[in-house]
Amino acid sequence: MKKSSSSKTSAGRPAVWILAVLCVCSSAFAQTASGSKPAQHPWMNTSLSPDERASLVVKEMTLDEKISLLHGTGMVGLSPMSPLSIHANGGAGYVVGVPRLGIPDIQMSDAAYGVRASGENGRYSTALPSDVAGAASWDTKAAYEYGALIGRELRAQGFNMSLGGGVNLTREPRNGRNFEYMGEDPVLAGTMVGHVMKGLQAQHVIGDIKHYAMNDQESGRNAVNVNVGERAMRETDLLAFEIGIRTGDVSAVMCAYNRVNGDYSCENKHLLTDVLKKDWKFPGFVVSDWQGTHSTAKASAAGLDHEEPGEIFYGAAFKKAVEAGKISKAELDDHVQRILRSMFARGVVDDPPQKSVVDVQNGFDVAQRIAEQGIVLLRNEGNLLPLDASKLKTIAVIGAHADVGMISGGGSAQVDPPVGNAILPPGKGQTRWLEPMWFPTAPLKTIRAKAPHANVQYDAGSDPAKAAALAEQADIAIVFAYCWESEAMDLESLTLPEHQDELIAKVAAANPHTVVVLETGGPATMPWAQQVGGILEAWYAGSRGADAVANVLFGDVNPSAKLPQTFPLRDADIPHPNLVKPPEASTTKDEDKEAWKKIAAGLPPFQISYDEGLKVGYKWYDAEKKPVLFPFGFGLSYTTYAYSDLKIDPGQPMHVTFTVKNSGTRDGAEVAQVYASLPASAGEPPKRLVGFSKINLAAGESKAVSVEVPAQYLSIFDEKKNGWQLVPGDYTIMVGGSSLDLPLHQSATLP
Ligand code: BGC
């Protein structure tokens, strides 16, 4: 695995803040130190709507105060630093408030699977299992809990805005950020991210959903121009955003680095104004990705409300444009109104965060619970799992540093492990941008704890023959295998790195009772799949990953997760078998100090055409009739489920009811999935997910399940009418436990 693209540097921020302290000018200090009693202002009347409150503030603001809300205060390596950044809280973004009017600063932190840069700031944060693991739970309550935990920890650390909420679809399975996203289906991804945002915003933190839009690969992300048809975009990637924003009432949207159909996302009028603000009636604000702003008047007219991290285009240049009449006062006020209404709507004015100590134990509990709900059982030959500790005398644990830790996802999502990288000596493990980070959650320890009477031996796996020799003598071999992913890179291939395929094949040849535990951010190919007894996909499993894995291996937890993305058989089967990479002229490197200046000025575009259009993920494999390794929606359990009694009420919304029975002998939870195939005249892929429900079922128990299907999920996007349209004709509704296992079918004719 190699990096195929690179991006911003993040080193050195604290040093610059110290510098900034020294050069803070007195007037700036007076600005942040002054302030009137907020309660006296009419906009502090909480019975007014967020919009009414914001309008009252806008009327009182000076031009300079308005401009200061439109941009951040800089970041080393990306943009010049403002002296005011002294008041930043150590997050990726800091926006100066208007103390005179009782408007607080906005303190933004990256928070994809936990609060980032915690170690850098001398703090502690819980690492949840990666976002894709949360999506694999298919459990909206777990998603809410995921967001709520992040919200609480943001507040405890003094932040009032999150930069998590990644929901780009897994159109490119090698995208290095897929672990930060929610899979390949817009209904699943949108619903799950919406619930994460609900939980987060309920803590009085501004939520943000990103990267809008079509930022589906990292290679050349600052230069690439994505060519994609309107209908394809609306029904795939944009639908995930639309559902997420609507479900979560999300207050901020981060526009992406890439261009879409010619224009940069952050100055793309079609995306920002026509779709987001007009069609979806989004009342919140658009924040640029870090150095994703490329212009002043054009971006403003297109609908970009706020530049991060600095003020290259939205500071003095913006003021000049307003004074010269190139940007109208109404346009300026709209940006400010949107930012302020979001602050009121989310409660960050009325209930500012108070720094406190993170509740570590609670974080562990939540992280473990969600990890247990997100681990997917992919194979279980002859019911090898769950393991019965009383029958095992020897266990071989092999590979992936399982003696000390589990891998996490890198880049701006990275959460810092306590005491640093588990594979480095204590004190030598500080956070580094774009290096693999291992959390101190050691499967070897949790497996030993589950099987206290067994002889549990570890082998690092670096010599496959040695590992196989250990496995041969063991009752069971558990091989941990990993693939690290990060922002600013893509995978060259879905092949596991570091010859792990060879390791697994050799171990499995030595002992058929081999279980593979995968720690990956997305799909991996598995040429050895038929040779092993069991496969678990544990993703990047978070602070308590090892406990969750052991609970699933030994049956204290019955697995209930399902894949939120297809695992293809081989790279050649994916829509773009060769990753589209930037030519030399459009490439930037971290080490290149001038990179971000070049990026701001605009790199020459190179093209990607998403000709697969609507056929993202399983829709591609279905339509192209390509067999897959593990299909979308697939996941085994230690019990079995039976489906019956499908009934359809074809009204609007449609209601689909059916019965699910736990036909086995263990309690469990089943993710029941509802798919629809549209009339042939619709010109759609063979089927699409239109609803799902996760149901807890005791052994032997049956439950009637009802899934409501909104008309939009059965519709196509009609470009001529610029709206969603139900196509009259015959639909087939299919229900079951995976996209390729749908025992219930029924037709419905829609007028
Ligand atoms: C990433 C964003 C992130 C921002 C701030 C960018 O490079 O693409 O996802 O929120 O940096 O760290």
Ligand 1 atom nearest 7 alpha carbon? 7
Q: Ligand 1 pocket, 412 CB below 6 A?
A: yes
Q: Does residue 31 carry a pLDDT above 60? A: no
| Cβ(264) – ligand 1 distance below 6 Å | no
Measured CA to CA, the distance from residue 289 to residue 265 in angstroms comes to 9
Task: From 89, 306, 412, give the residue whose CB has the most ligand 1 atoms within 8 Å, as the site to mutate.
Answer: 412
The catalytic residues are 289
Q: Which amino acid is at 575?
A: P
Distance 67 CA to ligand 1 centre (A): 22
Look at 36 and 291; give whichever has higher pLDDT.
291
Q: For 237-271, how does the pLDDT look when each residue is reduced to its tens digit (9 = 90+)?
A: 999 999 999 999 999 999 999 999 999 999 999 99
Q: Is the pLDDT of residue 596 over 70?
A: yes
Substitution candidate for ligand 1 out of 290, 415, 590, 596 with most atoms within 8 A of CB: 290
Ligand 1 neighbourhood includes 13 CB (under 6 angstroms): no
Distance of CA 203 to the CA centre of its chain: 19
The rounded Å distance from CA 427 to ligand 1 centre is 27
0.75 surpassed by pTM: yes
Number of other CB atoms surrounding residue 27 within 10 Å: 7
Q: 281 alpha carbon to ligand 1 midpoint, in Å?
A: 25
Tokens for 548, please give them: 């969750």
What ranges make up the beta strands (E) of 306-389?
A: 376-380
Phi, psi of 224 (to 5 degrees): -60, 145
Distance 412 CA to ligand 1 centre (A): 6
pLDDT by residue (tens digit) across 433-464?
888 999 999 999 999 999 999 999 999 999 99
Closest Cα to atom 3 of ligand 1: 412
Burial class (CB in 10 A: 0-12, 13-18, 19+), 651: exposed
Q: Is the pLDDT score of 659 beyond 90?
A: yes
CB of 87 closer than 6 angstroms to any ligand 1 atom: no
Q: Cα–Cα distances in Å, from 339 out to 14, 98, 133?
A: 27, 12, 32
pLDDT digits 0-9 by tens, 384-439 = 999 999 999 999 999 999 999 999 999 999 999 988 899 988 776 665 788 899 99
**What's the pLDDT band for 122 if we cut at 50, 70, 90?**
confident
| Rounded to 5°, angle at Cα 697 from 378 and 363 | 70
pLDDT 10s digits, 293-326: 999 999 999 999 999 999 999 999 999 999 999 9
Q: Which atom of ligand 1 lies closest to the CA of 163? A: 10
Q: What is the pLDDT of residue 585?
A: 82
Which helix (H) or strand (E) segment is 643 a member of? strand 641-649
DSSP secondary structure, 115-153, as one string: -TTTTTTT-----PSPHHHHHHTT-HHHHHHHHHHHHHH
Asked if pLDDT for residue 746 goes beyond 50, the answer is yes
Q: For position 594, what pLDDT does the model report?
A: 79
Q: What confidence tens digit (pLDDT) does each residue in 60-81 have?
A: 999 999 999 999 999 988 899 9
Residue-wise pLDDT tens digits, 491-540: 999 999 999 999 999 999 999 999 999 999 999 999 999 999 999 999 99
Of all protein residues, the one whose alpha carbon is nearest to atom 2 of ligand 1 is 289
Task: Give the residue, by CA position, lying nearest to ligand 1 atom 9.
Answer: 412
Bond prior to 704 in cis (omega within 30° of 0): no
- To test ligand 1's pocket by mutation, which of 7, 94, 110 has the most ligand atoms within 8 angstroms of CB? 110
pLDDT of residue 300: 99
Atom of ligand 1 at shortest range from CA of 110: 10
- Give the SS3 label for residue 609: strand
Q: For residue range 481-493, what is the model confidence (pLDDT) as tens digits?
A: 999 999 999 999 9
Kindly report the average pLDDT of the chain as a whole number.
93
Task: Give the residue whose CA is nearest to atom 7 of ligand 1.
Answer: 290
Give the CA distances from residue 136 to residues 143, 246, 522, in Å, rounded to whole numbers and listed in that order. Answer: 10, 21, 11
CA-210 nearest atom, ligand 1: 9
Nearest residue (by CA) to ligand 1, atom 6, is 290
